[in-house]
Amino acid sequence: MNRSGAESDKRTAVEVTKDKNGIGQVVLRNPRGASARVSLHGGQVLSWRTEHDEELLFTSSKAIFKPPKAVRGGIPICFPQFGSRGLLEQHGFARNKIWVIDKNPPLLHPNDSNGKAYIDLLLKPSEEDMKVWPHSFEFRLRVSLAEDGYLTMISRIRNINCKPFSFSFAYRTYISISDISEVRVEGLETFDYLDNLCDKERFTEQGDALTFESEVDRVYLSSSDVIAVLDHERKRTFTIRREGLPDVGVWNPWEKTSKSIADFGDEEYKRMLCVDGAAVEKPITLRPGEEWTGRLELSVVPST
């Protein structure tokens, strides 16, 4: 999983463990002490911590860690459907399935391996999945933690069907914040968005940054490749870089909707914000044998 030799073992660590329900988890550590924890339930990143042991992702205190329920928090993977835009269950089935560790992944660019702690996971459809979405695919996911603490997720989805299929996709990224009223999102100004609170009607972002005073559930379309989330109180800025993911989902349920979500605390909306790298408006279509790659890179830096 890492470069061979004792040299790389000192630098990075990949540890396979189990959670209290017996589900496999992989802990990635870099030499400075930053870490990421990935569950085989959903191929979901559940934790991403700085070298000072600060948690950067939000997970609800009421989250359910038992399949088939997806975990509320971290970075669930929405595939082959985002939200309720289709006939499948909300956000598709990939986040509810048990993935396996891919022992022989196809090669990636050396930059995606060198000096990084990483794990490769694989999802193939079960007979049950084929009944609801009758397409054969291989979904390979690499999660890596670099020396500088950057967290990268690379999804590669291949059509092994004899006919084309289409899907939508998102990395639903629950960011941990100090207070939703103190946060601003930059990089979405002037872009069009679909507002899920207004029957997916299309609007154009007028503000020079996105701030929050009520429920927000939007998909920004073909927006800039880099989005910044500024948390004034914690004096830190998250940077979200995307490749192959033209759209950005932004969600905060605010007070009223929070109370209607069983696995979410009534007041927890104040401490989380979802900012997703996504491909929603124009579904991805793969012909037989074709492969799509979607990449998300998350970093965090101190800010004033």
> Residues annotated in the binding site for substrate, as ranges?
72, 90, 95
CA-CA distance, 169 to 242, in Å (whole number)? 13
Whether a cis peptide bond, with omega within 30° of 0, leads into 80 is yes
Query: Which two structure tokens, joined as six digits, stand for 42?
Result: 């959903």
Query: Annotated binding site, which residues?
Result: 72, 90, 95
Task: Tell me which residue has tokens 């060198």.
Answer: 114
